[in-house]
Amino acid sequence: MDRIIYELGDLVEMKKQHPCGSKQWKIIRVGADIKIKCQGCDHIVMLSRSKFNKMVKKVIKE
| Contact (CB, 8 A) for 29 and 46 | yes
pLDDT of residue 11 exceeding 70: yes
Return the pLDDT at 4: 80
Nearest-angstrom CA–CA distance, 11 and 9: 6
Average pLDDT over residues 4-28: 93
**Average per-residue pLDDT for the chain:** 92
Average pLDDT over residues 27-32: 94
pLDDT of residue 25 exceeding 80: yes
Return the pLDDT at 3: 74
Average pLDDT over residues 34-58: 95
Nearest-angstrom CA–CA distance, 26 and 5: 14
Domain residue spans of the chain: 11-61
